Structure 1
Amino acid sequence: MKTVKLKLLIGLLLLMVFPITTFSQTEDVQPKYITVTTGHWNMNYENFDKGKWIATEKEFLEKVVKKNEFILKSLVFTHRFTPDNTEIIFVSTYASWEDIDKASERSGELIKEAWPDKDKRKEYFKEKDAYYAATHSDEIYVPIPGMKPFPPSDKETIWLVVKGHFAFPEDGSKEEFEALSKEYIDNVINKNELIKGFYQHAHAWGSDKTDYVRVYVVDSMGDLDNIGKRSTELFKEHWSDEAKRKEFGKKMRKYFTGKHGDYIYTSVPELTK
């Protein structure tokens, strides 16, 4: 089987509605691009063992990914509740568009350094690739201002991914959207103790330029059931006047089509950079 690799066509098709220069976080180097590769398990692999899979991938993480200076972060997620139980998600972040290509080249160099013997290198990747089907898909996103950084954790966490779509209203503006988003994040997301992390992403390269992705990180499925209730309480606390709540909702809704899909994944903390 061929490995699930990041094979990206590099081109400049940015969603100009949101300036990535305003994205901020606590890291010294700010990620400006997020690559998401959706791979699939090889369902015909009879010798699958989760512990051995993690050990195999961790070897690659230690010898290649962690030593690759162009990859800021790397995360792996497995299916929890999605339409496709074969999904396995690989996420990486980069400081620039150019670094995506540089990271691929650097990984090639590190692979040869880690496995200088051609036969041993071939043997390792045969073992690694056996876990995956040949098919995969790639998307590239840009961060949208407003986030609740999730601190590193050695425990499995639940990641709810809400995939919505921008409507691009004629009477809308970047400034208004960012102001509305910030007010909501400051007074609802950041005050919701059940939400351990929150991120917003917009399309940069992929199949749908209207993509708007929100990611919520929680400790457990039980917390996932309760974040909506808690957010509603905080929403009503901040907008205590019903008329103002309706006004805010009307302004915010015009930026979206109203259509969305929900996907739940489990993190693999052992495979995190």
Structure 2
Amino acid sequence: MKTTKQLFSAIVLALLLFSNTTILAQDDAPKEPKFITVTTNHWNMDKEDFKLSEWKAAAKEYHEKVTMKNEYIMGASTYLHNMTPDNTEFLSVQVFASWEDMDKFAERSGELIKEGWPDEAKRKAFFKNLDSYSANEHSDEIYAKIPGAKIMAEKPTKDMVCYIRKSHFAFPEDGTNEEFNKLRMEGNAAIVQKNQYVKAYYPNVHAWGSDKTEYFEAFFLDSMADLDKMFDRDDELMKEAFPDTEANKAKGKAYGKYFTGVHGDYVYTFIHDLTK
């Protein structure tokens, strides 16, 4: 078990070092996203005057006055429950270029809050109202972005569907970093990058949180109808790129050994006007 844990620590470390090298090699180049934080919030189901439109208006005001102006936050987005085990949940996602920026963003947000609501009484009233929509419980996870993303062509002008697949690493004794990355990127190029229904795709691995086995993939689509079309197109592309040969069967078996075979599916609504 020690050998397999070291293997996947090496996989993640190698991927992170690849990102570091990309950034450090070009001092004048813009920063690249490296870490993603996912906060799972829950609605306050006891709030009697709950109005989603009013929550969204308050969330948008905070987004414009704080999130959009915080230079340490590279990206941010909000997701509402669509098809998940818990209808009370909504996700707040933030993207950072470094661990240091994650340390700095909270302090900067505090400064921007005072600038955005200089009157203390009005500031307290605003946040009392905004906070009243959420329950006290929440959970946080930090993931590391890895190569293979399909970047959104342009900022969305409408809400989208976000399909999330969470798989789990199996830690094979005979696995190698080189084999895993080669097989993953081969399938990524042949299927994900060529599927016209996938408007964006972001793969991530566990960096800090409750489950170090998580492999977290986010697919963005225009509609729920496109979710079925995406799966159908995946099957077509799979058959085109990997016909039923002994060699391809061996590839499939080799890649499959890196996962337990257990995964979870989650569908959220991506709120386009709460996006940075």
Q: Structure 1 length as normaliser, TM-score?
A: 0.91
Distance in 1 separating the partners of 2:52 and 2:58: 10
Shift of 1:241: 4.1
Q: Does structure 1 residue 238 correspond to structure 2 residue 241?
A: yes
Shift of 1:16: 4.0
Which structure's residues are more often helix, by fraction? 2
Q: Does structure 1 residue 17 correspond to structure 2 residue 17?
A: no
Q: Does structure 1 residue 256 correspond to structure 2 residue 259?
A: yes
Q: Structure 2 length as normaliser, TM-score?
A: 0.90
- Contact (CA 8 Å) 2:202, 2:219: kept in 1 or not? yes
Cα RMSD (Å) of the superposition? 1.7
Q: Does structure 1 residue 77 correspond to structure 2 residue 71?
A: no
Map Cα deviations across residues 192-214 of structure 1 (whole Å, 9 max, x no partner).
11111111111111011111111
Shift of 1:122: 0.4
- Contact (CA 8 Å) 1:145, 1:178: kept in 2 or not? no
Distance in 2 separating the partners of 1:147 and 1:15: 21
Identity percentage of aligned residues? 49
Aligned pairs, how many?
259
Q: Does structure 1 residue 147 correspond to structure 2 residue 141?
A: no
Q: Does structure 1 residue 208 correspond to structure 2 residue 202?
A: no
Distance in 2 separating the partners of 1:219 and 1:254: 33
- Contact (CA 8 Å) 1:15, 1:202: kept in 2 or not? no
> What SS is found at the alignment partner of 2:251?
helix
- Contact (CA 8 Å) 1:197, 1:217: kept in 2 or not? yes
Distance in 2 separating the partners of 1:268 and 1:21: 32
Shift of 1:51: 2.1
Can you give the 5+ residue segments of structure 1 that lack an aligned partner in the other structure? 1-13
Can you give the 5+ residue segments of structure 2 that lack an aligned partner in the other structure? 1-7, 24-28
- Contact (CA 8 Å) 2:10, 2:177: kept in 1 or not? no
Shift of 1:261: 0.7
- Contact (CA 8 Å) 1:15, 1:204: kept in 2 or not? no
Which residue identity is paired with 2:241?
H
Distance in 2 separating the partners of 1:86 and 1:182: 36
Distance in 2 separating the partners of 1:15 and 1:272: 32
State the partner residue of 2:31: 29
